[in-house]
């Protein structure tokens, strides 16, 4: 297998998590997910600002960033769940661009979000390095 193919075969890791008493799966973010989180979210915020009657200064990047930081996106948390929740093979359970999926996720009990966030944190936070005594 050449290097290109070897690299392109690297797929996001899928991990089992607990939400309440049930097992679910989440996947690591892809390059495309990161791109969407940065650039598509910015587009969403510009659109939401316009809908909320906020006049944006598109000529000054620093001012614009501050303005966009104050824009309310009602689906930020639901979207983060939709991006990661998947089946055991990594296939998404929800579409982060589907408003009906986002509305449904937004109605879930806050315990679901707490368990989801804890699981993501446990998986993505590097484990503490073993002390010298433990590694001997």
Candidate from 76-80, 83-87, 129-133 with smallest mean pLDDT: 129-133
Mean pLDDT of 23-49: 92
Taking 50 as the threshold, does the pLDDT of residue 95 lie above it? yes
The distance in angstroms from the start CA to the end CA of the chain is: 38
Confidence of residue 93 (pLDDT cuts 50, 70, 90): very high
Which residue would you say has higher pLDDT here, 103 or 122? Answer: 103
Confidence of residue 119 (pLDDT cuts 50, 70, 90): very high
Give pTM, 2 decimals: 0.80
Residue 25's Cβ-count burial label (10 Å; 0-12, 13-18, 19+) is: middle
* pLDDT score at 100: 99
C-alpha–C-alpha distance, residues 68 and 2, integer Å: 43
Q: In the chain, count of helices (H) and strands (E)?
A: 7, 3
Mean pLDDT of 57-71: 93
Candidate from 65-79, 85-99, 119-133 with smallest mean pLDDT: 119-133
Taking 50 as the threshold, does the pLDDT of residue 131 lie above it? no
Residue 116's Cβ-count burial label (10 Å; 0-12, 13-18, 19+) is: buried
* β-sheet bridge partners, residue 15: 26
């Amino acid at each position: 297998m050449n290097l290109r193919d070897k690299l392109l075969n690297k797929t996001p890791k899928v991990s089992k998590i607990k939400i309440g008493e049930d097992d679910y799966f989440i996947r690591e973010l892809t390059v495309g997910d990161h791109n969407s989180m940065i650039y598509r979210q910015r587009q969403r915020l510009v659109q939401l600002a316009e809908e909320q009657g906020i006049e944006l200064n598109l000529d000054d990047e620093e001012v614009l960033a501050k303005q966009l930081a104050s824009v309310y996106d009602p689906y930020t948390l639901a979207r983060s769940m939709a991006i990661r929740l998947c089946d055991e093979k990594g296939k998404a359970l929800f579409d982060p661009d589907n408003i009906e999926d986002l509305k449904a996720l937004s109605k879930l009990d806050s315990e679901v979000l707490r368990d989801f966030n804890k699981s993501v944190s446990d998986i993505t936070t590097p484990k503490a390095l073993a002390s010298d005594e433990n590694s001997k």
